[in-house]
């Protein structure tokens, strides 16, 4: 057994110096490490589901990305604003999500990962939120990192939910760096927070036996400076530690 809980972190498949590469930006890995977790980058081949690998993990993190879920995955035509795909990641994420939930593996989804969770449960997405009547423009500003990741709008945390169990305040301010968002909520999912315009900002898996939350914002940026972001990562880390302990006990009994 390792000394720290192992958390699988989904990669994005991109071209780097002319070669296909599996990429995760440092902010996700550093955030997990700062909470006592050991991140493991998961490559995204289209046949990437590996039950043996999942059996050795204590958590799964679905990161944000500049790419979008292929709209064919939820029965929609492509909008002209939707220009970046990652079909390998689509295949991997939509296979891993139900497998992880079945195994009781703690799961945290961020931005694209939030949208992947909704699609995995049969939900649909707005491909250009800024064009939807009644919804605000949630895209990131063209600015430096500190400005782009600064809190941009309020959210209301739904009373009695899983997010509310981690964060007791009914409101918080979060950053906003996304063009897409949830249109129809997937079956078996619950709304955990909303933006002032009504757009869903956090969801959970109702029947999941372990931690299974996803958020539209980016809590991995300067996590410990923001009480809500800290509460979310601490809750995920606690669930991963519990899974790690249970896995260690099970392995010792099998010897």
Rounded Cα–Cα distance for residues 126 and 119 (Å): 11
The active-site residue, picked from 88, 218, 226, 243, is: 218
Contact yes or no for 237/35 (Cβ under 8 A):
yes
- d(CA 184, CA 194) in angstroms, rounded, equals 14
Phi, psi dihedral angles at 177 (to 5 degrees) = -140, 40
> Which SS3 state, helix, strand or coil, does residue 191 take?
strand
Cα separation, 149 vs 140, in Å, equals: 8
Residue 88 appears among annotated catalytic residues: no
Is 158 among the catalytic positions? no
Catalytic residue among 12, 111, 158, 240: 111
Q: How many CB atoms lie within 10 A of CB 224?
A: 12
Active site (annotated) includes residue 251: no
Which residues make beta-bridge pairs with 10?
42
Q: Catalytic one among 220, 226, 240, 243?
A: 220
Task: Give the C-alpha separation, 39 to 37, whole Å.
Answer: 6
**Active site residues per annotation:** 111, 218, 220
């Amino acid at each position: 057994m390792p000394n720290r809980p192992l958390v699988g972190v989904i990669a994005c498949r991109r071209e780097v110096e002319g070669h296909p590469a599996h990429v995760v930006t440092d902010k996700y890995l550093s955030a997990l490490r700062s909470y006592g977790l050991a991140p493991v980058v998961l490559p995204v081949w289209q046949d990437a589901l590996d039950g043996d690998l999942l059996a050795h993990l204590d958590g799964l993190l679905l990161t944000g990305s500049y790419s979008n879920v292929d709209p064919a995955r939820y029965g929609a035509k492509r909008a002209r604003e939707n220009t970046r795909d990652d079909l390998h990641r689509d295949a991997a994420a939509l296979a891993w999500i139900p497998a992880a939930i079945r195994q009781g593996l703690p799961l945290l989804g961020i931005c694209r990962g939030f949208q992947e969770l909704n699609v995995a449960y049969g939900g649909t997405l707005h491909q250009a939120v800024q064009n939807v009547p009644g919804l605000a423009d949630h895209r990131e500003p063209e600015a430096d990192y500190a400005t782009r990741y600064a809190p941009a709008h309020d959210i209301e945390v739904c009373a009695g939910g899983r997010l509310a169990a981690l964060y007791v305040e009914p409101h918080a301010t979060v950053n906003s760096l996304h063009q897409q968002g949830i249109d129809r909520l997937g079956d078996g999912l619950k709304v955990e927070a909303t933006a002032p315009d009504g757009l869903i900002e956090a969801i959970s898996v109702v029947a999941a036996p372990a931690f299974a939350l996803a958020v539209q914002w980016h809590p991995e940026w300067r996590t410990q400076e923001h009480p809500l972001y800290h509460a979310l990562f601490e809750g995920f880390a606690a669930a991963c530690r519990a899974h790690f302990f249970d896995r260690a006990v099970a392995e010792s009994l099998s010897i």
